[in-house]
Structure 1
Amino acid sequence: MMARLTNHLIVISFDCLSALDFPLLQTLPHFRTIIEKGSYVEKVETIYPSVTYPCHTTIVTGNNPNRHGIINNTLLQPGRSSPDWNWFRNLIKGTTLYDEAKKANLTTAALLWPVTGRANIDYNLPEIFPNRPWQNQIMVSLRSGSPRFQWDLNQRFGHLRNGLNQPELDDFVLESTVHTIKTKKPNLLLVHFTDLDTKRHVFGFSANEAIAAIHRHNDRLGRILSALKESGIYENSTIVALGDHSALDENKALSLNVLFQKEKLITTNAKGKINNWKAYCKSCDGSAYIYLKDNNDFETSLKVKILLDSLMADPEAGIEKILTAEEAALMGADGSCTFMVEAKKGYYFLEDFQGEYVKRITREDVLADHKYTLACHGYSPEKSDYSTIFMAAGKGIRQKTIVPFARLIDEGPTLARLLGLDLGNTDGKIIEELLTL
């Protein structure tokens, strides 16, 4: 077994934190503490598609989506207005950072970390929400995580929550994190904050509301640092603050399924519900998978290709690139799609099959329906100004080292190395420049 570089690894994911935020982070005291006492990667290349659940699974596996199996946030459920999400650990192929930590008899904790439902984590409050009329938040959470631990957190801090609304949800997660550090002193703690991501979706990338969320994140980071000191483990801890993807402003939504329905590739019943489909556009926001019900249906495949080519030729149609299944797989995405499409900057994909192909999004649309946004992610990591960030300080981390570039797939092996663990043969590699090896 490799030597352990730290006793307590605290991984804090600030969802949608961008490399473009770095100048602001340098002015905020608690982020500045991490930057000055530790090291950071200037630009971290995210994965494809760059959406939250695949990204967070990559962070704990070191693999691309087509290797770890979480190829999108939500499942392919054509016609469902609210598809189920990839909530559960058993959907991940291969091992994870928390699995290996558990095998090494380390204490593990996770707070709203994606794809940890029913995971073997000692203290687990998984990210999951009720998606059926007969479900409620408390029960779906309790069933999917550590019941006694969650019940205690809800009794203590549940009053802070306001459904899934932000910043209240992150305020609840913060108090739960501080309490977990003080009472459990875990060797591995994974925490996921979504305040910034939510505000960017609703108001735009550089909106005042997004900037305010970064300031709140600075305060949250400060509270976590204080909790580590108060619990007496600060000197033996490593604090990692990272983002999973960036975001790009957009104001036009593309609904390929509208065109598929016109071509009779999607059919509906008298109530307007999908009753059959030959081709379906599965959104990843800035990109989308095109799936065929029958992968051997060459007639439908040709029909879809002709349609996509015609859209590519139209500068107003919003399509930047069409990838084959093989090209998508080479990018790390789901090779079982038939095509993958990338939106131009300013555009993103919906799964609507009624209405218009291109819809211009207004502030009123966003406030009326959460499927509409003014900034999103999911785009190709090749897009410009689209990197995320990784910074770390504490045991096992070199001081004042700046690494110009790394990839999201490199984070898993690096985090594992800090705890003396090995994730096996991963797509990513250890960022050795950051570590006191």
Structure 2
Amino acid sequence: MRLTDHLIVISFDCLSSLDFQMLEQLPNFKELLRNGSYCKQVETIYPSVTYPCHTSIITGKFPNRHGVVNNTFLQPGAISPDWYWHRKHIKGTTLYDEAKKAGLRTAALLWPVTAKANIDYNMPEIFANRNWHHQVAVSLSNGSLRYQLDMNRKFGKTRKGLQQPELDDFVLASTVETIIKKQPNLLLVHFTDLDTKRHYHGFSSKEAIQAIHRHDQRLGEIIGALKQAGMYEKSTIVALGDHSALDESSVIKPNILLREKGLLTIDDQERITDWKAYCKSCDGSAYVYVKDPTDAETKRIVHEIFKGIQGESGIESILTGMEAALKGADGSAFLMLEAKQGYYFKEYATGTYIEEISPDDVQAGRYTYASHGYSPDKKDYTTIFMATGRGIKPHINLNSMHLVDEGPTFAKLLGVDLGATDGRIVEELLNL
């Protein structure tokens, strides 16, 4: 049985529990919370990066079960590795798959890992990653062609490539139009303005605060569109975050240590040409892969390298692949490294092992001032879930929940089933 006619899921990337006090004072978040319910201590997944997080939200599973274990693929030597853009990388079903099977109209705007997905109105998050690719052509060929052409014709001038806040302004205009003209039963929207500003200006920067205020205005326009379309009283509105972020002052480059031990090689242009072991960054954490799983000698050297420097090199903890899998991460990795607060990982194989972050590096896009990807066990690192409308009990304040609980709860609202998930239906929030 469906509890709602329309489920509107709005992801504000990098929204933190620490933002909640501010949200309570902003007019549109305040309206959402007035008769809604919330949890301001939502535990995220490991690694807590955007693509695994958003896939966990719509599957109810941890990364090692849904298959999206990082933002980007393990592609040593690639200047810009490919991302997990496509639906085919998700194992099992998703919320939008089950909604479509149930005959519901579906829409997704820049929701991660939806390229080539069976969604009625699909504008996937994907970008041109080769010199010979054009952004518009890449987007059009991986989503709903006519729908995207229409949105670009009407609102394309708003956008300035991938720059923020213009990209989110384009997504907002397309979202409002989609609500009014298409009236989807399931709408998934992903805004990245706040995440971008925190990366390049810091967690509590004025730029990040301005982005939160812009998000409040965006929420207000979405609510206004639902009212204009006559959908508001029949809808469930959810605003959520996927992870928090932590400020950093230093970058760790473990591949330098692997290169020094002869476990990877580079050419004259500092590109990796071969490898036996490789450190794959998840920003606040990192996987260490061994190319040949039977290579006991390489594993011994890798283990010796990182155990020898743990605690004094920016590395807070080291997990085996099995221990990482128990936390929901990729168990095929040999090790998983967790950075201390103030540090994060990059994949560069040249330079110094630990480098302080300078404003010039950030301006050049080489490094950032804040990151995520850290263990959910880090202090003050939870995110937020807020919901109001059809099927939601009013004025419930949950002490805690998990990111993987969101998918099963959404499925219950839509009257569909995600099967065997890692999360639970949060019945305390639902008007059953």
| Aligned counterpart, 1:223 | 221
| Aligned counterpart, 1:381 | 376
Partner SS state of residue 342, structure 1: strand
Is the Cα contact below 8 Å between 2:3 and 2:414 reproduced in 1?
yes
The code of the aligned residue for 1:336 comes to S
| Aligned counterpart, 2:339 | 343
Question: For 1:245 and 1:313, how far apart are their aligned partners in 2?
Answer: 25
Does residue 198 (structure 1) correspond to residue 199 (structure 2)? The answer is no
Question: For 2:7 and 2:220, how far apart are their aligned partners in 1?
Answer: 16
In the TM superposition, residue 270 of structure 1 has moved relative to its aligned partner by 3.8
In the TM superposition, residue 231 of structure 1 has moved relative to its aligned partner by 0.4
Tell me the alpha carbon deviations over residues 223-273 of structure 1, each in whole angstroms, 9 at most, x when there is no partner. Answer: 000000000111000000000000000010100001111111001234432
Q: CA RMSD in A?
A: 0.7
Tell me the alpha carbon deviations over residues 307-338 of structure 1, each in whole angstroms, 9 at most, x when there is no partner. Answer: 10111142xx1000000011000000000000
Does residue 178 (structure 1) correspond to residue 173 (structure 2)? The answer is no
Question: For 1:313 and 1:196, how far apart are their aligned partners in 2?
Answer: 32
The code of the aligned residue for 1:280 comes to Y
- Per the normalisation by structure 2, the TM-score is 0.99
Question: For 2:13 and 2:359, how far apart are their aligned partners in 1?
Answer: 22
Tell me the alpha carbon deviations over residues 120-167 of structure 1, each in whole angstroms, 9 at most, x when there is no partner. Answer: 000000000000000011000000000000000000000000010000
| Aligned counterpart, 1:50 | 48
Instruction: Please point out which of 318, 326, 333 is paired with 1:330.
Output: 326
Is the Cα contact below 8 Å between 2:46 and 2:374 reproduced in 1?
yes
Question: For 1:76 and 1:196, how far apart are their aligned partners in 2?
Answer: 27
Question: For 1:38 and 1:215, how far apart are their aligned partners in 2?
Answer: 20
Instruction: Please point out which of 395, 419, 425 is paired with 1:424.
Output: 419
Partner SS state of residue 152, structure 2: helix
Does residue 372 (structure 1) correspond to residue 367 (structure 2)? The answer is yes
The code of the aligned residue for 2:430 comes to L
Partner SS state of residue 333, structure 1: coil
Question: For 2:380 and 2:369, how far apart are their aligned partners in 1?
Answer: 17
In the TM superposition, residue 106 of structure 1 has moved relative to its aligned partner by 0.1
Q: Which moved more, 1:214-223 or 1:294-303?
A: 294-303
Question: For 2:159 and 2:355, how far apart are their aligned partners in 1?
Answer: 33
| Aligned counterpart, 1:109 | 107
Is the Cα contact below 8 Å between 2:247 and 2:370 reproduced in 1?
yes
| Aligned counterpart, 1:248 | 246
Tell me the alpha carbon deviations over residues 79-129 of structure 1, each in whole angstroms, 9 at most, x when there is no partner. Answer: 212100000000000000000000000000000000000000000000000
| Aligned counterpart, 1:287 | 285
| Aligned counterpart, 2:265 | 267
| Aligned counterpart, 2:127 | 129
Instruction: Please point out which of 407, 415, 436 is paired with 2:410.
Output: 415
The code of the aligned residue for 1:160 comes to T
Question: 1:79-94 to 2 correspondence within 5 Å?
Answer: 79-94=77-92
Does residue 95 (structure 1) correspond to residue 100 (structure 2)? The answer is no
Question: For 2:202 and 2:33, how far apart are their aligned partners in 1?
Answer: 26
Is the Cα contact below 8 Å between 2:140 and 2:149 reproduced in 1?
yes
The code of the aligned residue for 2:428 comes to E
| Aligned counterpart, 1:355 | 351
The code of the aligned residue for 1:391 comes to M
Question: For 1:206 and 1:357, how far apart are their aligned partners in 2?
Answer: 28
Question: For 1:325 and 1:428, how far apart are their aligned partners in 2?
Answer: 22
Partner SS state of residue 130, structure 1: coil
Is the Cα contact below 8 Å between 2:311 and 2:317 reproduced in 1?
no
Aligned length: 432
Question: For 2:420 and 2:270, how far apart are their aligned partners in 1?
Answer: 48
Does residue 319 (structure 1) correspond to residue 315 (structure 2)? The answer is yes
Partner SS state of residue 410, structure 2: helix
Tell me the alpha carbon deviations over residues 192-236 of structure 1, each in whole angstroms, 9 at most, x when there is no partner. Answer: 000000000000000000000000000000000000000011100
Partner SS state of residue 281, structure 1: strand
Question: For 2:370 and 2:58, how far apart are their aligned partners in 1?
Answer: 26
Question: For 2:387 and 2:260, how far apart are their aligned partners in 1?
Answer: 52
| Aligned counterpart, 2:393 | 398
Instruction: Please point out which of 21, 31, 55 is paired with 1:23.
Output: 21
The code of the aligned residue for 2:21 comes to P
Describe the shift of the 1:403–1:313 C-alpha distance in structure 2 as closer, same or farther (beyond 3 A): closer
Q: Which runs of 5+ in 2 are unaligned?
A: none
Tell me the alpha carbon deviations over residues 17-48 of structure 1, each in whole angstroms, 9 at most, x when there is no partner. Answer: 00110000000010011111110012000000
Partner SS state of residue 107, structure 2: strand
In the TM superposition, residue 349 of structure 1 has moved relative to its aligned partner by 0.2
Partner SS state of residue 164, structure 1: coil
